[in-house]
Structure 1
């Protein structure tokens, strides 16, 4: 790889790495224009709409309920470049939500999740093409989410999250007794770590919240 190609790769990685942090700040400050400006101009919104204006309308409505304030804390971020204009990645996010409860005291809901992202470069700038949120738990700060159905939003039925469903290794770990048998596979090539872990596993169906 030439020096110029290496520099272009580092610049792409750094620009992409900024996207989740910018998203978190824009979302928490409720700056809808800044947030939707992080997505491709033709971003898909639901089944029948596309574009930044459609995304802005959807997010503006969604962020008014069920919480009044949020804080998103960005964790580890893996980025893999597919070609000069496309990439994918996974980023952890630990979130806090001030959540009004009808007829009772407000709750402080904490959440652990990851985003499965697709990125695209348009007109020389990197954007989100798609964000798929995978949730592990959501619960009031004073109520640890031990046990099944860890998604525990106030006023809703408890539900199972999808935090581990993209990667088959979690279920395989608990299905077997003892360590895997046979030789350890060769390390994943650079740029293929996520694909290696997924092993062709399809993305789960997700009921998206505004996180």
Structure 2
């Protein structure tokens, strides 16, 4: 059983990681890349599930952000749930999942996105930082396409060609659930199952 001191240290670490996640959103929206650099360890990795983003090392990550910001206007990222997991035998690393939404100006139009980050955090002498961050999208669409968007699997419309959403359909838990329930997920409509 953890000691009182260990429990306090864990709570402090969780608080610092939550602050890290919040700072990231503000710095992205404010285009404060000098401050953003300080949120990542030197050998950090930043990727996206669709493979478009794939940077290794802090300099490559910052260069990738410059490329992203070249096509983005003002935006606001709002994070919702933050799940942080510490392993029992490791006090200097943790993993996490973060859900959020973004409002963005892209391709001369207003777009909205629902997203998730899969993170690895590392404790450093300067506090907790991102060691790895992978972004995935439930949807990324022009506002005009938002009504009914969850009825279509091609929900990533940030690019010239619509792409499949990164989740939930691709998740093993989603697939297993529907397989066990004998459900069929249609490609352009909602989930249907046999009558019980």
TM-score by length of 1: 0.73
Q: Within 5 Å, which residues of 2 pair with 1:135-154?
A: 135-144=137-146, 145=149, 146-153=151-158
- Compute the displacement of 1:3 (Å): 1.3
1:1-211 alignment, distance < 5 Å: 1-44=2-45, 50-65=56-71, 67-82=72-87, 83-100=90-107, 106-123=108-125, 125-144=127-146, 145=149, 146-153=151-158, 156-164=160-168, 167-177=171-181
How far 1:62 sits from its partner (Å)? 2.0
Structure having the larger proportion of residues in strand? 2
Change (3 A) 1:21 1:137: same
Cross-structure match for 2:50: none
CA distance in 2, matches of 1:126, 1:166: 30
Aligned equivalents of 2:9 and 2:126: distance in 1?
Answer: 11
- Higher helix proportion: 2
User: Given that residues 151 and 161 in structure 1 are in contact (C-alpha distance below 8 angstroms), is that contact kept between their aligned partners in structure 2?
Assistant: yes
- Aligned residue number for residue 203 of structure 1: none
Unaligned runs of at least 5 residues, structure 1: 101-105, 179-211
Structure 2 segments unaligned to the other structure (5+ residues): 48-53, 183-196
How many residue pairs are counted as aligned between the two chains?
171
TM-score by length of 2: 0.79
* Partner Cα distance (1:4, 1:109) in 2: 46
Deviations 1:109-129, CA, capped at 9 Å, x for gaps:
101110000000122511000
- Cα RMSD of the aligned pairs, angstroms, is 2.3
Q: Which moved more, 1:106-115 or 1:21-30?
A: 106-115
CA contact (8 A) 1:113 1:163 kept: no
